[in-house]
Structure 1
Amino acid sequence: MTPKTELTRVHLLLFFFVLAAGIAVGLSLFSSASTFLDLIRTATSGLFLPLLLSLIASFLLGPIVAFIERENISRTLSIFLVYLLVAILLLLAAGWLSPHWQEMWISLRTDLPRYTAKFITLLRDAQENLQSRFPYIESYDLTGRARTLAEQFVAQILVGTPKSALRIGSLLILVPIFTFFFLRDGNLILRTCVSLSPNRYFEMVHDLSSVISRQMADFIRGRLLEAFIIGLVVTIGLSFTDIRYTPILGIFAGITNLIPYVGPLVGMVPGILIALVDLGMGGQFWWIVIVYFLIAQIIVDNFILIPILISRYSNLHPLWVLLAIIMGGKLYGVLGMIIGVPVASIIKIALLEIRHYRNTFALPDTAQDLDRPT
């Protein structure tokens, strides 16, 4: 056996030990990183919704705070004055609506089983009609699936109300605190984040952050105003009929309208179902369908609100909107479906701004590459 062969075997053995040690260290680091990420995810799991609501509230209250601040009033005092005004308005609204809402909510919880039973009956009739025409779908139990979903939904409402009350209580504490700091120190936080960027990208990051914050503020205000108007239109339209729970149905229609494409259809279902159960398929039922579909969605939303309030801020292709809704729903449920479109808009704005800067201003590395001979 030659020394060269022995040396090769030593090298192979050393390489094996180094490789084994590297794999062991990598697995250890991966396990530690996974544990660390799990700890971070657990610690911040309850902060996402308060931070999101606080950011939205800061976008809504920011112009009012800036208007008061113009009267030679400090920003902190301006924020407290706005908080005082909002608290007074909320207390007045709660004192006026609380008795009616409590009675209406108790009645709705009592009537939910009746509405779900009627819905399942309608689905059974529709399933029998379809199976008589298309025999190859006899194995699909649409009624059973609907009954299971309805029972889960009713149980979640009846059991989850106390938990929701506790969660709302925590939001009432955290959201005002976070909103206060966003309103007072938001510009400082943004400038600090921008200052961390490298010098050659500083101007691009500064302009990009300014464009995104401005467009997102306008987009959020526009979407909330759109939801408020849609809810108001539905409430007024339903008030001309004898349907019950008109305010709840209007609020539900406005909230679900925040989800593009899917939300308006979901917002129609409770009102149409209640009208079908309580009023029958008479003139009032068809008026309610017209209010939901023709007046609120086609005329007010599609022809008036979206062109004025939304189009110039999102400007996304419908395919990207659908993908954003689906991916947002997979990640964060209904909340993800609502914020999916703004996040997609932010990504689009960032890509367009970066492309604009790369085409308009040659960065140092890019300029050197262009001057290099091929």
Structure 2
Amino acid sequence: MASPHLDTLGRIFTDIRSKYEEVRQKATNELKIHLEVVSREYSSEQLSRYHSEVNRRVSEFIHSSDTTDKIGGILALGVLIDVDHDDSTQKTTRYANYLRSIMRGNDNHCMVLAAKTLGQLAAPGGTLTSELVESEVKQALEWLQIDRQENRRFASALLLRELARSSPTLIYGFIGQILDLIWVALRDQKVLIRETAAEALGVCLAIMKHRDTTNRDMWYAKILEEAKIGLRSASADCIHGSLLIYLQLLDSAGMFMQDSYRETCDTVLRLKDNRDAGIRKLTIKMIPCLAKYNPAEFVNNYLHKFMMHLQSQLKKKDSDERGSAYKAIGEVALAVGSSMGPYLDGILASIKEGLTMKGRNRSQRAEQEAPIFECISMLATAVV
């Protein structure tokens, strides 16, 4: 085995475990190019030995106690899945086991990357795809039922989201079971788990959208009913989870929410000043979705109420709250067009005031001004 290639591999594996994301990304791209070059130059036997050396390094990184090593190992494994054309059962099983060891850990960043890479490994057409998807979905559902550890619930939501994205046809057979159990994650105490579970639900809704209408509408109705149950709870976590469900239904369930549209708007109005910051933030995010879903109904009955609220948010001291409101105003404008006319003077006055505010440094000013310029761009597009 030629040493120049090993020297290059060593350098790449040093960079792929860097603490800087841009260095890691560059090394990931270089590894893919490097392995493609090696595959053209080496015989089958030489290439097999070279891939064994790469696998050894990946395994060493994956099983390291250092987070940057684990990240580097996962990134390298993703390249191997794409480049290594040995479609053997042994390879698939080995790679899956590497990633399962990460999913059973407690490092959120690594778990997110590992779940995406598992989805990549489970893409249609590979060896053991069906068996792999079935095994991982069953594990995710089991963790939702019996495991009290929040890391397991997070892992469950991640697995369901990524497997649904990569293997929608196979996941469709598990939709009923997923809808029986995902509510545990959607009402979890941790917002990250709720949001990830909502994203998994959204992918499932998109899968249902093009399937048989009888089951689809039945599932939609079940999901909406669960959301309403959560809204009746005294728990802020449950209410937040229910709003996430409403958001996914608006985005991914076609016109199913039409009959519940006014009720949904009234719910968001009722909760917009909730004492829980997460609920308030989510209602801001929902306003443009409501405007886009039914622009005519929104303009006739809700535009003024919501614009009064959004404009009041532009006076908040917290820059994140102001930024969210600027972005929402721009997105509402894209949905309703010239109907934003009566509100432009007030918005432009707030924009002028926002651009004169002083940040502690250049970086902070740029961060504060970014949503303002984004809002200006959307307003210009909407009302011209």
TM-score (norm. length: structure 1): 0.24
TM-score (norm. length: structure 2): 0.24
- Which structure shows the higher helix fraction? 1
Larger radius of gyration: 1
